């Protein structure tokens, strides 16, 4: 990507999009276009078409999506499917119409079958049933991958897709009802510490294994691939190692400084038993993550403390 190229980052206010903007700016890219959802509703086909016709970006990072944790995914199934399909369809098609030079679509590790062999390899896509709780979101993301493949095959477009593992970091969503597991734990343990609660209750058994990637590492990998990868197959982005939810809870509990008891509500769902990415393809291209989980959680807790006023109970 040329330093003066016009780059559109869709979803710049989110954790991933904001990390992408930080990364691009740190590398000297200054012609970055962003729009808030109020300025540009990506679900609106005409609005997106008009935006692309007026701005004509050369590169697009499609990091905008409706996201949430197990509960939100399961409750708002229609919203997750409809809104994510709309966003993807509009951005990818308008990029094609206006001749965008290269587009990167960001998916999610939930695209893989629930019981796919571990670690998850790119070739496992569509080889079995999905995890029910986030099936609509996963189907939307799979459709996005296939759109990029199809525009490449039919029109010769250089559209690539990446599949990040579970993410965390600055600008995360710490809402207890619709956030992901790591930021939700940070908030739960912090509030329990402040309120001197004797115990913190968490969902499930604590046995599922999860992999966590810092958002700044993801942004670094995305920019690296945008510069160095033009292949048809999507690429996993992760750290290649995982941790049990129970051990994650103990790490966050220690980071926050909460001294009470941990209780597990086994009536609540665990979700997928394990979700570890095979990142050998990415490693073979010369990229590896920088942040260890302990350091990353410490940085993220500091970010949460800065945002406390927004999430005051």
The binding site for substrate comprises 188, 203, 210, 270
* Residue with token string 């129970």: 246
Question: Under 8 Å CB-to-CB from 210, ≥6 apart: which residues?
Answer: 166, 181, 242, 243, 244, 245, 248, 274, 275
Distance CA 55, CA 228 (A): 25
Distance CA 170, CA 214 (A): 9
Distance CA 199, CA 259 (A): 9
* Token pair of 14 as six digits: 């989110």
Numbered residues of the known binding site for NADP(+): 11-17, 106-109, 141, 164-167, 180
* Contacts made by residues 250-253, CB under 8 angstroms, sequence distance 24+: 251/293, 251/294, 251/297, 252/182, 252/185, 252/186, 252/189, 252/297, 252/301, 253/189, 253/200
- Residue 265: CB atoms within 10 A of its CB come to 10
Q: Catalytic annotation on 137? A: yes
Numbered residues of the known binding site: 11-17, 106-109, 141, 164-167, 180, 188, 203, 210, 270
Q: Which of 29, 137, 174, 301 is catalytic?
A: 137
* Rg from Cα positions in the chain: 19
Residues acting as catalytic residues: 137
């Amino acid at each position: 990507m040329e330093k003066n190229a016009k780059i559109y980052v869709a979803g710049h206010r989110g954790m991933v999009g904001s990390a992408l903007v930080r990364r691009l700016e740190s590398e000297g890219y200054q012609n970055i276009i962003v729009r808030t959802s109020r300025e540009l509703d990506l679900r609106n086909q005409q609005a997106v078409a008009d935006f692309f016709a007026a701005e004509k970006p050369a590169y697009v990072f499609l990091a905008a999506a409706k996201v949430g944790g197990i509960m939100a995914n399961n409750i708002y199934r229609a919203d997750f499917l409809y809104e994510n399909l709309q966003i993807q369809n509009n951005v990818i098609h308008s990029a094609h119409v206006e001749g965008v030079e290269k587009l990167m679509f960001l998916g999610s590790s939930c695209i893989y079958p629930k019981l796919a062999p571990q670690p998850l390899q790119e070739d496992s896509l569509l080889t079995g049933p999905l995890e029910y709780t986030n099936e609509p979101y996963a189907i939307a993301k799979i459709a996005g991958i296939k759109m990029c493949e199809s525009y490449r095959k039919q029109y010769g477009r250089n559209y690539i897709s990446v599949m990040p593992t579970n993410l965390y970091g600055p600008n995360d969503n710490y809402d207890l009802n619709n956030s992901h597991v790591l930021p939700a734990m940070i908030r739960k343990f912090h509030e329990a510490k402040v309120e001197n609660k004797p115990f913190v209750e968490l969902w499930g058994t604590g046995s599922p294994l999860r992999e966590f990637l810092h958002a700044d590492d993801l942004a670094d990998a995305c920019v690296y691939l945008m510069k160095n990868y033009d292949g048809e197959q999507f690429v996993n982005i992760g750290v290649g190692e995982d941790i049990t939810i129970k051990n994650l809870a103990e790490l966050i509990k220690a980071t926050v400084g909460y001294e009470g008891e941990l209780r597990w509500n086994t009536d609540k769902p665990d979700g997928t038993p394990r979700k570890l990415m095979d990142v050998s393809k990415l490693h073979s291209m010369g990229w590896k993550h920088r942040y260890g989980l302990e350091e990353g959680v410490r940085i993220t807790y500091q970010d949460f403390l800065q945002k406390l006023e927004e999430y005051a109970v």
